[in-house]
Amino acid sequence: MKTSEFKQAIEALGFTVVKEDSDLVINGEGSLWLADVSLKYKYALRIYFGAIDEVGEEKAKELFELLTAYASTPIAEREEPKKWYLKCPITGAYLNVAKNDPSALIWSDFKEVGHFKTKFTRAEIDAFEFEHAHLIEEEVME
């Protein structure tokens, strides 16, 4: 499970997620600590004994399932791969590849254009079948 997916699911339960040192801390209403999960160690998590009393059995069960799914995910697989924009060094236009047809390419002043993909992982860039070594890579900051 990706960290972004974990946070989104926890927030959907009505809880907050705060990064503290090498942990993600899950708080309930009024900043009540409910649980934490390690960002450094696989399988490492803690749940407040009184969580069921505070949030109810159903939410406590969902919290437990999310925590165990996330804690069981290898550390290296929790983060999304980095992505890059590819920019023409001459015109400054960004490469856009059609989502439904990777052979359809356009150049645009915009980083996002309709049904075209503009953010690429390293694996996607390496798989391009056209010459792209001359393009400027800009890391996507999200």
**Is 13:19 a contact under the CB 8 Å cutoff?**
no
Q: Contacts by 115-118 with C-beta closer than 8 Å and gap 24+? A: 118/85, 118/94
Give the integer Cα–Cα distance in Å for 110 and 64: 43
What mean pLDDT, rounded, does the chain reach?
92
Model-level pTM?
A: 0.68
**Is 93:135 a contact under the CB 8 Å cutoff?**
no
**Is 118:85 a contact under the CB 8 Å cutoff?**
yes
Residue 7 scores a pLDDT above 90: yes
Confidence of residue 64 (pLDDT cuts 50, 70, 90): very high
Question: Which single residue is written with the structure tokens 């009505």?
Answer: 14
